[in-house]
Amino acid sequence: MSTIFPPVIRMEVNNKLLNVGLLMAATLVVAKLISSLLMSRSSRKRHLPPVVRASPPLIGGLLRFIKGPIIMLREEFPKLGNVFTLNLLGTKNITFLIGPEVSAHFFKASESDLSQQEVYRFNVPTFGPGVVFDVDYSVRQEQFRFFTEALRVNKLKSYVDHMVFEAEEYFSKWGDTGEIDLKYELEHLIILTASRCLLGREVRDKLFDDVSALFHDLDNGMQPISVIFPYLPIPAHRRRDRARKRLAEIFTDIITSRKSSSQCESDMLQCFIDSKYKDGRTTTEEEVTGLLIAALFAGQHTSSITSTWTGAYLLQHKQFLSTVLDEQKSVMKKHGDKIDHDILSEMEVLYRCIKEALRLHPPLIILLRYLHSDFSVTTRDGKEYDIPKGHIVATSPAFANRLPHIFKDPDTYDPDRFAPGREEDKVAGPFSYISFGGGRHGCLGEPFAYLQIKAIWSHLLRNFELELISPFPEIDWNAMVVGVKGKVMVRYKRRKLPIY
Ligand code: HEM
């Protein structure tokens, strides 16, 4: 230290030096801290989720997935927890996020982070060009807006009138007593109703047989192999392509005729014809056809399966059958025989019975996304995992809907679990119950589906005494949309539900 400075100045200088020194030391410490933090971030080894053990090495994972994803989940979940990865063919990884604690990102992430297009592209030859998974997200969003508009309450009100009419007409053909396969009957009724509400009067009244045969070919063109090789030249795909082409011709004629006669109908076809993109462009005939096919694929099997399960459970569980009948009686006391949108919406008990059947048997058992950017997730027991981009990310309504920490006695049919006071579907936030998915891509047809199933079941409950005469049905895990295995035989006797 220099001695040429007087003591006061020296003191000042000393203080200044001390301050500078302290400042430098502090800066160094902070810099060191920041750099070590950054270093540790960048060089920290990623903590990947545990991997399902499968043999033989390369194809073992794929074999386990093909054997049944739910069996695999049941075996692995207790060992590996909420988050784990299944390796397919050495290169592809599916990471499962099971349960509301870890699935929020799956449902809420932006399309640029987690997208559907890569994993659902196999639908393109069925839906056709220019729609849904064949177009950019910005166009797809607009097309989903068309769905949203076509399914608004004011539209649903007119669809309900068609639903009620179709149910009355269909069941009027049953005799006074008899035995039927409930699954077959409800499948047929739902095709008729969907034709009327979605495809329109022309198809329902004049072209029903032709169009349902074509839809049958489209449906059969969706084989498990189609998910991986949608364009494989197999007979089922050839029939699918022919059917798709013929449907486009039929709908082009109908649309042209509606436009030229300024005819306006209350169906989804009309909504799609009238839909406009943000830039003012109207939908083409090809797009309208594709959107209708997408609606039918989204709603038809899912709704008919759910109405069959609802019936099977109600006929099996007399205590719930009797509460649902009591509700019908009190609704009839108030409104007579009339059924419309608002009256169906009053049927809370029936709603819970359907919802519970759907909890136990969601027809879409696995939902998928493609991961474009890394993210990390913390499990229920506090473990943090990093999921790298490039993984396929999956969640499973069929598995998550039966988690015992969310649903009490999860394998038991208990519609009251959704009643006020219990509300188990909300126990762990919005993704506790995911039969309709949720978040960004939650089902747009949920209200339509409930109204349709309620319309069918309120008619049946009011007009027939029903008894399940075959064993309680099993699950058909082999179907693409997982449904009911075999017949569901029911004995019926026509009667009017006494309201007093
Ligand atoms: C019980 C019947 C139904 C069930 C269980 C069901 C289930 C689902 C599920 C789980 C999703 C989400 C898929 C995902 O996240 O990858 C979904 C989406 C969708 N559903 Fe449904 N659905 C049903 C009925 C319907 C009906 C009747 C329609 C239309 C009339 C419909 C139209 C749609 C559409 C357009 C989407 C795509 C929404 C989007 O990606 O933004 N669904 N459905």
Spans of all domains in the chain? 1-32, 60-494
Distance 76 CA to ligand 1 centre (A): 28
* Pairing mode of beta strands 92-97, 392-395: parallel
Q: Rounded CA gap, 84 and 198, in Å?
A: 40
Please give the full DSSP string across 11-28, using - where no structure is assigned: HHHHHHHHHHHHHHHHHH
Instruction: Assess whether the C-beta atom of 367 lies below 6 angstroms from ligand 1.
Output: yes
Distance 161 CA to ligand 1 centre (A): 22
Distance 57 CA to ligand 1 centre (A): 36
Nearest CA to ligand 1 atom 24: 299
Q: How many CA atoms lie within 13 A of 365 on its CB side?
A: 22
Q: Rounded CA gap, 437 and 443, in Å?
A: 6
Write out the chain's pLDDT in tens, 500 residues.
333 333 333 334 344 444 544 444 444 444 444 444 444 444 457 899 999 998 888 888 888 888 889 999 999 999 999 999 999 888 899 999 999 999 999 999 999 999 999 999 999 999 999 999 999 999 999 999 999 999 999 999 999 999 999 999 999 999 999 999 999 999 999 999 999 999 999 999 998 999 999 999 999 999 888 988 999 999 999 999 999 999 999 999 999 999 998 878 999 999 999 999 999 999 999 999 999 999 999 999 999 999 999 999 999 999 999 999 999 999 999 999 999 999 999 999 999 999 999 999 999 999 999 999 999 999 999 999 999 999 999 999 999 999 999 999 999 999 999 999 999 999 999 999 999 999 999 999 999 999 999 999 999 999 999 999 999 999 999 888 999 999 999 999 999 999 87
Can you tell me which atom of ligand 1 is nearest the CA of 434?
10
Q: Which of 134, 91, 133 is nearest to 116 (CA)?
A: 133
Instruction: Assess whether the C-beta atom of 406 lies below 6 angstroms from ligand 1.
Output: no
CB neighbour burial string for 232-268, b if at least 16 within 10 angstroms, e if fewer: eeeebbebbbebbebbbebbeebbeebeeeeeeebbb
Instruction: Assess whether the C-beta atom of 120 lies below 6 angstroms from ligand 1.
Output: no
* Predicted pLDDT at 58: 82
Q: Which residues contact 159 (CB under 8 A, 6 or more apart)?
A: 197, 266, 267, 448, 451
Q: Which of 357, 367, 332, 320 is nearest to 449 (CA)?
A: 357
Distance 249 CA to ligand 1 centre (A): 26
Instruction: Assess whether the C-beta atom of 277 lies below 6 angstroms from ligand 1.
Output: no
443 in a known ligand binding site: yes
Q: Are 193 and 201 in contact (CB under 8 A)?
A: no
For a pocket test of ligand 1, which of 144, 305, 443 has the largest count of ligand atoms closer than 8 A to its C-beta? Answer: 443
Instruction: Assess whether the C-beta atom of 473 lies below 6 angstroms from ligand 1.
Output: no
Please give the full DSSP string across 123-156, using - where no structure is assigned: GHHHH-TTSGGGS-HHHHHHHHHHHHHHTSHHHH
Distance 240 CA to ligand 1 centre (A): 22
Tokens of 392: 């396929």
Nearest CA to ligand 1 atom 21: 443
Q: Which residues contact 222 (CB under 8 A, 6 or more apart)?
A: 126, 240, 480
Q: Rounded CA gap, 111 and 25, in Å?
A: 46
Nearest CA to ligand 1 atom 16: 367
* Predicted pLDDT at 44: 57
Instruction: Assess whether the C-beta atom of 143 lies below 6 angstroms from ligand 1.
Output: no
Q: Which of 118, 392, 150, 374 is nearest to 230 (CA)?
A: 118
Q: Rounded CA gap, 490 and 313, in Å?
A: 12
* Predicted pLDDT at 234: 97
Nearest CA to ligand 1 atom 18: 443
Distance 438 CA to ligand 1 centre (A): 10
Helix/strand/coil (H/E/C) assignment for every residue in 330-368:
HHHHHHCCCCCHHHHHCCHHHHHHHHHHHHHCCCCCCEE
Tokens of 94: 């599916």
Distance 445 CA to ligand 1 centre (A): 6
Cis peptide before 471 (omega within 30 of 0): no
Distance 449 CA to ligand 1 centre (A): 9
Distance 322 CA to ligand 1 centre (A): 31
Name the CATH superfamily housing domain 60-494.
Cytochrome P450 (1.10.630.10)
Q: Rounded CA gap, 143 and 131, in Å?
A: 8
Nearest CA to ligand 1 atom 23: 299
Instruction: Assess whether the C-beta atom of 445 lies below 6 angstroms from ligand 1.
Output: yes
Q: Rounded CA gap, 442 and 445, in Å?
A: 9
Instruction: Assess whether the C-beta atom of 304 lies below 6 angstroms from ligand 1.
Output: no
Q: Rounded CA gap, 482 and 308, in Å?
A: 12
Instruction: Give the 3-state secondary structure of residue 246.
Output: helix
Q: Which residues contact 318 (CB under 8 A, 6 or more apart)?
A: none
CA distances (Å), origin 86, targets 47, 48, 63, 91, 338: 16, 12, 11, 11, 52
Q: Which residues contact 337 (CB under 8 A, 6 or more apart)?
A: 462
Instruction: Give the 3-state secondary structure of residue 461.
Output: helix
Q: Which residues contact 311 (CB under 8 A, 6 or more apart)?
A: 182, 186, 457, 460, 466, 488, 490
* Predicted pLDDT at 65: 86
Can you tell me which atom of ligand 1 is nearest the CA of 300?
27
Instruction: Assess whether the C-beta atom of 61 lies below 6 angstroms from ligand 1.
Output: no
* Predicted pLDDT at 17: 41
- E runs forming strands in 327-463: 367-371, 375-378, 384-387, 392-395
Instruction: Assess whether the C-beta atom of 435 lies below 6 angstroms from ligand 1.
Output: yes
Number of C-beta neighbours around residue 340 at 10 A: 14
Can you tell me which atom of ligand 1 is nearest the CA of 294?
35
